[in-house]
């Protein structure tokens, strides 16, 4: 299994859609074969179309607000000693998280395909909120599938979805979290694929959804590359790019321009959700060595039992609380290009406390998992090491959880 | 496949000038023991029995079958129990074809070849794998065929003509036509007449293939579709199990009653 150079990772799959011969694919019911094929053809066409690219760039700049800033966290770096810690503040993007890139592109594709309805899944509520924003902007009717547990714990984002005119469909099956929301969204698409477009909220699902999402979020690293060159004159010798990984869309977007670099120069570190310290449950299939399985139409490392039943997960962070992970991250793991680890709920909360004490940014619980790793390794590293954390979400949505766990804020 | 029990079941129905009845129940629903009793009891009326091996993330199933699947899993069903239910059933009625149906991850974790071998040993006649579509299923399907197990291809209203031809060509004794864009258990969205029109187009590609229609078939709708080679009823049966459990009634009796009533409408 080997990575190729000069080809985007999203395109390094075989004719059946597998990365490294075994991750990804399209394990879908017959009914979805045609809509998936139509979407695949449309996307192939659109991504080569200058007008479409210009349109995308226009909305990325004027609607999402590119570039998001790249800042040094002076106080945090000083406090920890060792490596310099920087942040790419992707939470500045319209709506407050990276999910806006994928949502905007899906809305544009939906329009291009002449469909009027768009549906999507959400965990933290950001994918749903952004899709509802994009739908409103482009005049589409929008339905969002969300686990009942997540609706309770991410209320601010639900309020936003409703305000944007989207219908939230609560999902009561299973653990009532993201995994169930994705299943229910797919079921809805099976039944309505003739007039409805589906957006998957991360780099997961059947092959084409991994590609569209990765293609969208890669804007983050295109910006970052320019910003790094500007700040440091050239790409520094020792960089570590740290990103939380739920489905993996933010991490892929943050890394895509840097995958071809030698890992001794640019190390890629993915941080999964380890769950509560004392719990056996987690949402960390990569770093806790889950077996390969098929979930939501793709083969990836999946938290599951011996029989192949998908396991319940647990995390304080609704956005990372998912038993599977993107096939492209499985590929990056097996080729050893990226390293994956996890942070517990407590680690993430402590990171939140520390980051917000020293800096003016307000990262949500998802990127706090990445900050936890940065805080852990920074003191041991040299001063010329540049750690960059993708601060990919804003903590406004976590208001209630933070209040409950950390007291008044 | 020559002389498969599945092919034979369709022949028998044709000789009796009626449509074949295929039932779908979930292994382990509502318990392991009961699901075997249900199978035994309904096999008096059903021409082919489909038995689901339940998965907890079924992306193509509606509420009724989900409920049955979750209940069965909660009651402890394991994949080897599904095989032992099948074996026991086959000892009771060796000529009644049984088709296992489920999601690919369960097979993948068991090991493809090991799964097929175990099917053979347990006298499984056919397999339906919901999320392993054509052409990705070609290798798996031909391995099944080698062991004398029917791999049943699915086709749907969205299946293109070109694809339909290829699928029919590579299919074994039975093809499953999904009646509409829906998960299992949805209401019929199209008129039976429209469904049958599409059905005849599929039949016209190769008259010798047995094509069944499934999804959305209930006691109410079954009569209007009984021109097909076979009809599959799943959710309507699962619903009876759920209702019986809720009312603390005998699931075996109630399921047998609905299957008997369905059978009467096949002529
Ligand atoms: C702010 C934020 N970060 C990260 C994630 C995890 O998703 P992904 O790994 O696809 O970036 C989510 C998902 O909802 C999120 O809202």
Q: Which of B29, B61, B125, B173 is catalytic?
A: B61
The pLDDT-based confidence of B3 (bands split at 50, 70, 90) is confident
Residue A24 CA to residue A38 CA, distance in Å, equals: 18
Q: Residues of chain B with pLDDT > 90: what percent? A: 98
**A9 is a domain residue:** no
Residues 76-95, chain B: which have Cβ within 8 Å of A?
Answer: 78-79
Residue A20 CA to residue A403 CA, distance in Å, equals: 44
Residue B24, Cα to own-chain centre: how many angstroms? 5
List, in sequence order, every residue forming a beta bridge with B214; answer none if it has no partner: B178
pLDDT, tens digit, 9 for 90 and up, residues A90-143: 999 999 999 999 999 999 999 999 999 999 999 999 999 999 999 999 999 999
Average pLDDT over residues B222-250: 97
Atom 5 of ligand 1, residue of closest alpha carbon: A319
Same domain, A346 and A362: yes
Interface probe for A, chosen from B59, B68, B135, B180 (most Cβ of A below 10 Å), is B59
pLDDT for the residue A408? 60
Average pLDDT over residues B126-148: 97
**A180 is a domain residue:** yes
CB A221 within 8 A of CB A253: yes
pLDDT for the residue B1? 73
Residue A217 CA: which ligand 1 atom is closest?
Answer: 11
CB A349 within 8 A of CB A406: yes
pLDDT for the residue B115? 98
Interface probe for A, chosen from B55, B102, B109, B157 (most Cβ of A below 10 Å), is B109
Same domain, A307 and A167: no
List, in sequence order, every residue forming a beta bridge with B150; answer none if it has no partner: B126
pLDDT for the residue B242? 98
Site to substitute for ligand 1 among A93, A123, A124, most atoms within 8 A of C-beta? A124
Last residue of some domain: A168, A196, A214? A214
Phi first, then psi, for residue A293 (nearest 5°) are -150, 180
| B61 tagged catalytic | yes
Average pLDDT over residues A80-86: 98
| Cβ separation B136–A16 shorter than 8 A | yes
Ligand 1 near A35 CB (within 6 A): no
Residue A125 CA: which ligand 1 atom is closest?
Answer: 14
The pLDDT-based confidence of B251 (bands split at 50, 70, 90) is very high
CA angle B98, B103, B104 (to 5 degrees): 105
ipTM exceeds 0.95, yes or no = yes
Average pLDDT over residues A142-170: 97
**A81 is a domain residue:** yes
Last residue of some domain: A156, A179, A214? A214
Q: Which of B29, B47, B50, B125 is catalytic?
A: B50
Same domain, A210 and A225: no
Does the pLDDT of residue A409 top 90, yes or no?
no
Given phi > 0 = left and psi -120 to 50 = alpha, else beta, which region is A264? alpha
Same domain, A270 and A319: yes
Does the pLDDT of residue B122 top 80, yes or no?
yes
Give me the residue from B66, B157, B158 closest to A173, CB to CB: B66
Average pLDDT over residues B63-78: 97
Spell out the residues 6+ positions from residue A139 whose beta carbon is closer than 8 angstroms to its own.
none
Last residue of some domain: A190, A214, A238? A214
Same domain, A176 and A231: no
| Cβ separation A190–B60 shorter than 8 A | yes
| Cβ separation A30–B159 shorter than 8 A | yes
**A145 is a domain residue:** yes
A193/chain B closest Cα distance in angstroms: 8
**A10 is a domain residue:** no
Residue A253 CA: which ligand 1 atom is closest?
Answer: 11
CB A165 within 8 A of CB A132: yes
Q: Which domain holds residue A85?
A: 66-96+218-406
Average pLDDT over residues B175-185: 96
Please indicate if any CB of chain A lies within 8 Å of the CB of B168: no
3-class DSSP state of A294: strand
Helical segments of A304-398, H only:
327-334, 345-358, 365-377
Q: Are strands B174-178 and B210-214 parallel, antiparallel or unpaired?
A: parallel
Residue A343 CA to residue A279 CA, distance in Å, equals: 13
Does the pLDDT of residue A230 top 60, yes or no?
yes
Does the pLDDT of residue B66 top 80, yes or no?
yes
Same domain, A189 and A108: yes
Go through the domains of chain B in sequence order and give each one's CATH number.
Answer: 5-262 (3.20.20.70)
Residue A145 CA to residue A183 CA, distance in Å, equals: 9
In the A/B pair of chains, how many CB contacts fall below 8 A?
108
Please indicate if any CB of chain B lies within 8 Å of the CB of A195: no
Same domain, A83 and A108: no
Atom 1 of ligand 1, residue of closest alpha carbon: A393
- E-strand stretches of B112-225: 126-129, 150-151, 153-155, 174-178, 210-214
**CATH label of the domain that carries residue A222:** 3.40.50.1100
Same domain, A77 and A22: no
Number of domains forming the structure of chain A: 2
The pLDDT-based confidence of A367 (bands split at 50, 70, 90) is very high
Does the pLDDT of residue B76 top 90, yes or no?
yes
Same domain, A252 and A317: yes
Average pLDDT over residues B237-261: 98
Site to substitute for ligand 1 among A320, A361, A362, most atoms within 8 A of C-beta? A320
3-class DSSP state of B32: helix
Same domain, A226 and A374: yes
Same domain, A146 and A173: yes
Same domain, A239 and A257: yes
pLDDT, tens digit, 9 for 90 and up, residues A165-219: 999 999 999 889 999 999 999 999 999 999 999 999 999 999 999 999 999 999 9
* Of the candidates B153, B80, B157, the residue with the CA atom closest to the CA atom of residue B121: B80
């Amino acid at each position: 299994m080997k990575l190729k150079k000069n080809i985007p990772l999203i395109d390094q799959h075989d004719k059946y859609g597998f990365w490294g011969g075994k991750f990804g694919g399209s394990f879908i019911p017959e009914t979805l074969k045609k809509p998936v094929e139509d979407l695949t053809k449309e996307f192939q066409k659109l991504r080569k179309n200058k007008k479409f690219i210009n349109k995308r760039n226009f909305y990325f700049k004027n609607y999402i607000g590119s570039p998001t800033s790249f800042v040094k966290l002076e106080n945090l770096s000083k406090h920890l000693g060792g490596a310099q810690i920087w942040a790419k503040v992707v939470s500045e993007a319209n709506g407050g998280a990276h999910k806006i890139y994928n949502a905007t592109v899906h809305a544009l594709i939906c329009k291009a395909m002449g469909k009027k309805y768009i549906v999507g899944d959400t965990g933290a509520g950001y994918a749903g909120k952004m899709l509802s924003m994009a739908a409103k902007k482009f005049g589409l009717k929008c339905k969002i599938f969300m686990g009942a547990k997540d609706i309770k714990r991410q209320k601010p984002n639900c309020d936003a979805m409703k305000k944007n005119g989207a219908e939230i469909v609560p999902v009561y099956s299973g653990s009532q979290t993201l995994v169930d929301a994705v299943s229910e969204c797919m079921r809805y698409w099976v039944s309505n694929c003739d007039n409805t477009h589906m957006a998957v909220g991360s780099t997961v699902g059947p092959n084409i959804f991994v590609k569209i999402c990765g293609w969208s979020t890669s804007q983050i690293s295109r910006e970052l590359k320019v910003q790094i060159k500007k700040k440091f004159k050239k790409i520094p010798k020792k960089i570590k790019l740290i990103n939380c990984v739920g489905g993996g869309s933010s991490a892929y977007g943050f890394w895509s321009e840097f995958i071809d670099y030698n890992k001794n120069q640019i190390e890629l570190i993915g941080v999964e959700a380890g769950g509560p310290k004392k719990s056996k449950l987690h949402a960390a299939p990569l770093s806790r060595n889950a077996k390969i399985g098929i979930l939501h139409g793709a083969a990836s490392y999946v938290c599951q039992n011996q029989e192949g039943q998908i396991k319940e997960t647990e995390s304080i962070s609704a956005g990372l609380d998912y038993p599977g992970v993107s096939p492209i991250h499985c590929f990056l793991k097996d080729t050893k290009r990226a390293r994956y680890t996890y942070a517990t709920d407590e680690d993430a909360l402590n990171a939140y406390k520390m980051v917000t004490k020293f800096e003016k940014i307000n990262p949500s619980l998802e990127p706090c998992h990445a900050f936890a790793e940065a805080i852990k390794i920074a003191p041991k590293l040299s001063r010329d090491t540049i750690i960059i954390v993708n601060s990919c979400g804003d903590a406004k949505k976590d208001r209630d959880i933070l209040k409950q766990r950390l007291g008044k804020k | 496949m020559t002389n498969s029990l599945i092919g034979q079941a369709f022949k028998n129905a044709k000789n009796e000038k009626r449509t074949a009845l295929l039932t779908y129940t979930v292994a382990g629903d509502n318990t392991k023991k009961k699901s075997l009793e249900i199978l035994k009891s309904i096999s008096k009326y059903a021409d082919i029995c489909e038995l689901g091996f339940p998965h907890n993330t079924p992306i193509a199933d509606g509420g009724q079958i989900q409920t049955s699947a979750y209940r069965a899993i909660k009651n402890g069903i394991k994949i080897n129990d599904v095989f032992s239910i099948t074996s026991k059933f086959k000892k009771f009625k060796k000529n009644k074809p049984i088709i296992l149906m489920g999601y690919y991850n369960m097979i993948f974790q068991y090991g493809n070849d090991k799964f097929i071998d175990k099917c053979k040993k347990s006298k499984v006649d056919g397999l339906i794998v919901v999320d392993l579509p054509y052409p990705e299923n070609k290798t798996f399907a031909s391995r099944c065929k080698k062991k004398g197990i029917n791999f049943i291809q699915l086709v749907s209203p969205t299946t293109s003509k070109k694809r339909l031809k290829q699928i029919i060509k590579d299919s074994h004794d039975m093809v499953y036509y999904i009646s509409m864009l829906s998960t299992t258990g949805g209401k019929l969205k199209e008129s039976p007449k429209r469904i049958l029109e599409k059905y005849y187009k599929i039949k016209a590609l190769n008259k010798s293939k047995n094509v069944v229609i499934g999804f959305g078939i209930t006691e109410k709708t079954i009569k209007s579709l009984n021109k097909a080679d076979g009809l599959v009823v799943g959710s309507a049966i699962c619903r009876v199990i759920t209702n019986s459990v809720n009312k603390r009634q005998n699931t075996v009796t109630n399921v047998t009653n609905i299957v008997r009533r369905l059978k009467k409408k096949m002529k």
